[in-house]
Amino acid sequence: MEKIRKVQIGLLGLGTVGTGVVKALRENSGHILSQLGVSIEINKVLVKDIEKERRVEVDALQLITEGSLIVDDPDIHIVVEVMGGLDPAYILVKKALQSGKHVVTANKELLAKRGQELLQIATDHQAHLLYEASVGGGIPVIRTLQAYLSANRVSSLRGILNGTCNYILTQMAEQGSSFESALAQAQAAGFAEADPTSDVEGYDASYKLMILASMAFPVISEELQVQRQGITEIKAMDMTMAKKMDSTIKLVAEGSYDGHSVTLSVGPQMIPNSDSLAGIRDEFNAVLIHADVVGDLLLVGKGAGEMPTASAVIEDVMAILQSESPRIRKPIEPWMPNTSSNQGDASVAWSYLRIKNDPHKNENFMEKFVQNFSLIEDAKRQLVVLGDEHAASDDWMMLVPVSAIDLSHWLMENHFHHWLVLPYQGEISYENKKVVTHLSEAIS
C-alpha cells in the first residue's frame, strides 16, 4: 500500500480565521487526502492566551505562546500566519522564510508594509509566500491577477474591499441601524479587525488596494500612497438622501495607472443603484478589474468571516503542496494604457455635500461657496439642494458640480465645521431634480 505523505503546519493565531482553518482542515481532511494524497496535520498553534475559551476542540492541538517554537521547528513545513498586525507577525514570517519554510498569510497590513522585502526573502530561500486571504476574503482575486491575467495589462481596479464597512453601510441603509450597533454586529460576526479603527477609517481597504495595485501595476506596495477617508461621518440623513436619488453609499477603493503614475483612493462614495457595486451587500466584497484583453471582469464573494477566509488560506496551502502556485511575480514593465477604454466622464465631477447650517461656525457659507465656485450664473442648474423638508433644518444637503477633493480642500482652508463630502457618481436626472429646492431659499 502507498504510504501517505504527512505535512506538518504551524498555525500562528487561533482567532476568527485560525478557527476557520482548523475547522476546514478537519471537515475536509478526507477530500484533501483524495485530492493530493497528502495528510495535513496541525503541529502547533500560537496564541496569546492559552486559557481563553476556544470555538474549536483544542485537546488535539498543541497551544503555545512562544512563536519561535513554530518557526524554528524543523518538522514544520508550512507556517500559516493568521494573527494580524506587524509585531510579532513580521519577525516570525521573516524567520520562517529564512529557514526555508513556506508561509501562507491573511495579513494585509504585513503585505502592504513589508511585502516586497518578504517576497524577496522567500525567493532567496526557495520558499513560497502566498496571501490570497489578505484581499477579498474568499474571492480568488490575487490568483486571478497572478495567474489568469498575466498576459493582460490592467489599467484600473475598483471595488469594495472591506466587509465590516460594507456590512455597516448595508445595515444603516436597509435596516436603519445606527453606526455603533452595526459595527457591534460586524465585530460579533468576526468581520472586524482586532482594532476596528482599521476598518472604519479605511486603513484596511487601503492595505488591500496597495496589494492589488502592486500586482496589477508596475509599482511596489511599500512606495504607494492612498488617499483615504473612512465612514465614521456617514449619518442616517445621508442614507436617506442617497435613497431619494436612487443611490447608495459604499466605501469604494479605486486604483488606476495612466502610464506614468498610479493613483489610489479609498473613501465613501454616493453611487447610483445601477452601478455594479451598489448591490454588493453586507460582508460581501467585489473587485472590478479593467484590463486590455479581457475588458471588464467583476469578482464577487464574501470578503470577511471565518470560513470564506479559511477557504482562501487552505487553497494557498493546497497550491504550495501541489507546487502549482505561481512564483513571485516579476516587476511589470511600465506601459501606456489605452485611456479611451476608461469609463466615466472625468470632466464633470459632482459631489454630495452635507454641512451644518450654523451661523457661528459656518458664517456666510452659502455666499462664500457660490462665489468661490462661480455658481452664480444659472445656479439652479449648477447646484442641487436636496430635500424640501431639510431646507430649513440644521443641515444643508446638496449636490454640487465640484470634485470632492477641491471641495474638501476649500472647506478645510476656510475652516468650516461639521461637513461631509462624498463623490457623487449618479446622474443629475429629472428624478433627482424632483428633490431640488430653490437656491434662493437656501441662501436666504
Which amino acids are annotated catalytic?
208
Residue 376: is it exposed, middle or buried by C-beta count within 10 angstroms (0-12/13-18/19+)? exposed
State the minimum distance, in angstroms, from the CB of residue 16 to ligand NAP.
4
Judged by CB under 6 A, the residue of 13, 159, 202, 426 near ligand NAP is 13
Q: How far apart are CA 415 and CA 364, in angstroms?
A: 12
Instruction: Kindly state whether residue 53 participates in binding ligand NAP, applying the rule CB under 6 A.
Output: no
Instruction: Kindly state whether residue 18 participates in binding ligand NAP, applying the rule CB under 6 A.
Output: yes
Sign of CA dihedral 411, 415, 416, 417: positive
Helix, strand or coil, per DSSP, at residue 300: strand
Residue 108 or 128 with smaller CB distance to ligand NAP: 108
By CB under 6 A, the residues from 189 to 208 that bind ligand HSE are 191-193, 199, 204
Helix, strand or coil, per DSSP, at residue 51: coil
Judged by CB under 6 A, the residue of 5, 6, 26, 48 near ligand NAP is 48
Candidate segments 8-16, 22-30, 239-247, 262-270, binder of ligand NAP by CB under 6 A: 8-16
Q: Could you write out the DSSP letters of every residue in 229-296? A: --STT--HHHHHHHHHTTEEEEEEEEEEE-SS-EEEEEEEEEEETTSTTTT--TTEEEEEEEETTTEE
Residue 267, contacted partner among ligand HSE, ligand NAP, none, CB below 5-8 A by kind: none
Residue 194, contacted partner among ligand HSE, ligand NAP, none, CB below 5-8 A by kind: ligand NAP
Q: How far apart are CA 205 and CA 166, in angstroms?
A: 11
Q: Which residue has the closest beta carbon to ligand NAP?
A: 15
Give me the helix-helix angle, 236-244 and 163-175, nearest 10°.
Answer: 70
State the minimum distance, in angstroms, from the CB of residue 89 to ligand NAP.
7
* Helix, strand, coil percent content, the chain, rounded in steps of 5: 40, 25, 40
Judged by CB under 6 A, the residue of 10, 137, 159, 268 near ligand HSE is 137
State the minimum distance, in angstroms, from the CB of residue 193 to ligand HSE.
5
Residue 163 or 230 with smaller CB distance to ligand HSE: 163
Judged by CB under 6 A, the residue of 2, 49, 180, 378 near ligand NAP is 49
Residue 67 or 423 with smaller CB distance to ligand NAP: 67
Four-point Cα dihedral 151, 310, 254, 171, nearest 10: 150
The residue count of the chain comes to 444
Give the x/- contact pattern for ligand HSE in 50-89, rule: CB under 6 A.
----------------------------------------
Judged by CB under 6 A, the residue of 36, 58, 73, 88 near ligand NAP is 88
**Opening angle at CA 353, ends 347 and 357, nearest 5:** 145
Alpha helices by DSSP H, listed for 13-107, are: 16-27, 29-36, 68-71, 89-98
Residue 84 or 301 with smaller CB distance to ligand NAP: 84
Helix, strand or coil, per DSSP, at residue 302: strand
Binding site for ligand HSE (CB under 6 A): 137, 162-164, 191-193, 199, 204, 303-304
Binding site for ligand NAP (CB under 6 A): 13-18, 46-49, 52, 82-84, 88, 106-108, 133, 137, 190-191, 193-194, 304-305, 309
